[in-house]
Amino acid sequence: MLELRTNSGAGFHLKPPVRKVRTMSAPDTAAPATTGTVWDELVSELPVGVMLRDEHGAVLAANSLAGSLLGLTREDLMRGTRPPGWQTCDDSGAPLPSDAEMAAQVLRTDGRLTVPVVVHRDGVPCARLWADYQAVGHRGRRRLLILLHPVLTDVSHSRGLLDPLTGLPSRALLLDRLDQSLTRSRINGSLTTLLLVDVRRLSSINEEFGFDAGDDLLVALANRLREGLRVDHTVARYGGDEFAVVAEHPDGTGVPIAARIRELAEQAVRLGRLRVRPKVHVCWATNDGSAPAYSVVGHAEKRLRARESCT
């Protein structure tokens, strides 16, 4: 834009304006500023904990509530200092991936992730939270925004992540558990198997004996799988007539786990005056953590629909 100026005795002349060039300081070029008046006014008093991490998991900014919810001071949170015996786990008791792993996972997919977090001190749970992870851009750099919400009731019930009929984890919580198990497999060199269990003829039972009988059958099967499989396996309600199991193991395939599922599920069930013997199809996909969760799910579903490699 040109600036209009007067000159003595010569009418009007067009003269380019003088532009001030701002030289960026070393802190500006090294990392974008994330604190200051705006942060203090808009973030510090929010009823949720707020953190901003870089791609390596380092904390760039945080409000005091974030540290308080995690049982840390804000200074310890910013420095990455953790007291002895401090650990974060999911609601099954499994340790969460490192900050760097979580950052890489979310930024790689450029998506969102919600994780139930239980803070432990010397093995004792002392706080329960929801952590919402969101990939964001800040001054041309990829950052990870984390919102921490306190949980006043049971973690799984607090966002409807349990199936109301069976009490098992719903599909949303199952996918989160699968994603975490794949991350641990990639880090620890183990394997993760997703097994899908299709209950055959459930629609026939509903039509012939009523939906109450079908519901009773699903509840009975859910209890058997939950009680009969290992405590570190996740058993979930996957769909109307389907269950799912996430199992982490050092080697092998899903064959022995599938055999155990069939053994449990195909025992006779008494439904009032009825006695039925369920039949199930079990298909699985095993991965070392190199594939994303959606790919493992897609592979298992494809096998189930085609009835290939099912027991």
Q: Tell me: the pLDDT tens digits for 171-181?
A: 878 888 898 89
Structurally, how many domains does the chain consist of? 2
Cβ neighbour number for residue 274 with a 10 Å cutoff: 13
Whether 185 and 215 share a structural domain: yes
- For residue 96, give its domain range: 38-157
Asked whether residue 7 carries a pLDDT value surpassing 60, the answer given is no
Whether 116 and 76 share a structural domain: yes
- Decide which of 157, 188, 206 is a domain's last residue: 157
Indicate the pLDDT class of residue 209, thresholds 50, 70 and 90.
confident
Spatial CA neighbour of 96 closest among 52, 37, 146: 146
Whether 177 and 290 share a structural domain: yes
Whole-number pLDDT of residue 198: 93
Q: Which CATH number covers residue 47?
A: 3.30.450.20
114 pairs with which residues across the strands? 132
> pLDDT exceeding 90 applies to what percent of the chain?
32
d(Cα 176, Cα 116) in Å, to the nearest integer? 9
Across 42-51, 225-234, 302-311, which has the greatest mean pLDDT? 225-234
SS (H, E, C) 166-213: CCCECHHHHHHHHHHHHHHHHHHCCEEEEEEEEECCHHHHHHHHCHHH
Average pLDDT value for the chain: 80
Q: Is residue 4 one of the residues assigned to a domain?
A: no
Asked whether residue 265 carries a pLDDT value surpassing 90, the answer given is yes
Structure-model confidence comparison of residues 305 and 87, the more confident one = 87
Across residues 66-95, what is the average pLDDT? 86
pLDDT, tens digit (0-9, with 9 covering 90-100), for 250-263: 998 889 999 999 99
Q: What is the pTM of this model?
A: 0.54
Whole-number pLDDT of residue 112: 74
